[in-house]
Amino acid sequence: MNNIYDINVKTRDNKEISLKQYKGKVLLIVNTATGCGFTPQYEGLEKLYKKYNAKGLEILDFPCNQFGNQAQGTDDEIHNFCTLKYNTSFDQFAKIDVNGQNEAPLFKFLKEKQGFKGFNGLMAKFLIPVVKKQDPNYKDNSDIKWNFTKFLVDRQGNVVNRFESTVTPAKIDKEIQKYI
């Protein structure tokens, strides 16, 4: 696949859709979990969505249970949690794998375009030992390391940046402004 718009994904209600429907939009694509220390980032994601949606930003939320079993429940249960606790209104899709044998084609594509950027901030000192235990060579591959890894895609479908779990949505604001 050479183009993000050639990729299909599954909606929460298990319908396959093409990412072509987002052509011309700025996308922030995130793997999420509802029982994670980073789950409060939903609040920041919703703020970004409210601030920039009218200018062309779409946030695509892909729950993933691969990290610490922190996205338990059905797609509907996850959606209800997010809308009730964080008032999320951006698109949420079916639960997926972002690494490994069953990884979603979308995340395979994203990882090929933007490799691991490293952890920073206070949470890095907690996250690094956990990730290192699972993958001693984590710095040397593009795998998703944890929940709330975010990819920024410009209006032409180019994957322009990757933000690891430790980067809060507020810290992405200025980067989004470049592409809006």
9-57 pLDDT per residue, tens = 999 999 999 999 999 999 999 999 999 999 999 999 999 999 999 999 9
**Mean pLDDT (whole number) for 124-141:** 94
Q: Are 62 and 32 in contact (CB under 8 A)?
A: yes
HSE, side-chain direction, 13 A CA sphere, residue 47: 11
**Is the confidence at residue 68, as pLDDT, over 90?**
no
Q: Looking at residues 81-95, what average pLDDT do you find? A: 96
Sheet-wide strand order for 57-63: 91-92, 57-63, 26-32, 150-153, 159-163
Nearest to 93 by CA among 72, 63, 54: 63
Set 10, 23, 36, 40: catalytic member: 36
Closest CA to 39 of 73, 63, 12: 63
Q: What average pLDDT does the segment 80-104 reach?
A: 96
pLDDT score, position 67: 93
Average pLDDT over residues 133-141: 94
Partners of 11 in the beta sheet? 93
pTM of the model: 0.96
Provide mean pLDDT across the span 151-156.
98
Other Cβ atoms closer than 10 A to 109: 19
* Mean pLDDT score, 90-99: 97
The pLDDT assigned to 159 comes to 98
In 3D space, the residue among 137, 104, 142, 135 whose CA is nearest the CA of residue 4 turns out to be 104
> What's the pLDDT score for residue 122?
87
All domains in the chain, ordered by first residue: 4-179 (3.40.30.10)
Query: How does residue 119 score in pLDDT terms, banded at 50, 70 and 90?
Result: very high
Tell which residue, 78, 103, 106, has the closest CA to residue 22.
106
pLDDT, mean of residues 57-85:
93
Mean pLDDT of 123-149: 94
Is 82 among the residues known to form the active site? no
pLDDT(154) > 80: yes
Please count the residues of the chain.
180
Q: Cα-Cα-Cα-Cα dihedral of 70, 73, 76, 82, to 10°?
A: -30
Q: Is residue 1 scored above 70 in pLDDT?
A: no
pLDDT reported for residue 31: 98
